[in-house]
Amino acid sequence: MDEAKLKKLIEIFKESGVDELEYQESFWRGVRVRLGNNRPGTVTYQAPPPAAAQPLAESVAAEPAPEASVESGLRTVRAPMVGTFYMSPSPESEPFAAAGDRVAIGQTLCIIEAMKIMNEIECDASGELVEVLVGNGEPVEYNQPVMTIRPS
């Protein structure tokens, strides 16, 4: 996708008044753009994969910044989209993380399935996973708290 086309897409999005827009040129070319309002870092772009015949890599999604609780010192991880919450990559697999585990920046915490796309939610702070607030397989809403982390 060239820069002029991306700028035009952003302009149309701003004028439309919608909260979120996802645009995909071709599954096989791997060009995908997601635009959203009321979230930090909402404009994302995924360049085509090296070989034109490869499918689109895993979904790129901007996550809302975790909320820090002044009273408890805990950070809240929130769902960046509407979908189904999963703690492991498959029903037979161990969870990515469980309450009491140490987590690190970049570590996958969970998956949110949205429209048959598995979106890995990564940790952006090192510390202890204190509590998982949503059950495995339960639906989640945009910006819903799903976990709490005690940063270290």
Domains of the chain from N-terminus onward: 3-46 (no CATH), 67-151 (2.40.50.100)
Per residue in 17-56, pLDDT tens?
A: 777 777 776 655 566 777 776 544 444 444 445 544 444 4
Q: The whole model's pTM is what?
A: 0.53
Q: What is the mean predicted confidence (pLDDT) over 105-133?
A: 91
Place of tokens 């339960």: 138
pLDDT at site 108? 93
List Cβ neighbours of 32 (8 Å cut-off, separation of 6 or more): 22, 23, 24, 25, 45, 46, 56, 59, 60
For the chain, give the mean pLDDT: 77
* Top-confidence residue, 107 or 20: 107
Name the nearest CA neighbour of 146 among 52, 94, 101, 81: 81
pLDDT at site 6? 79
- Alpha-carbon 134 to chain mean position: 16
* 91 pLDDT higher than 70: yes
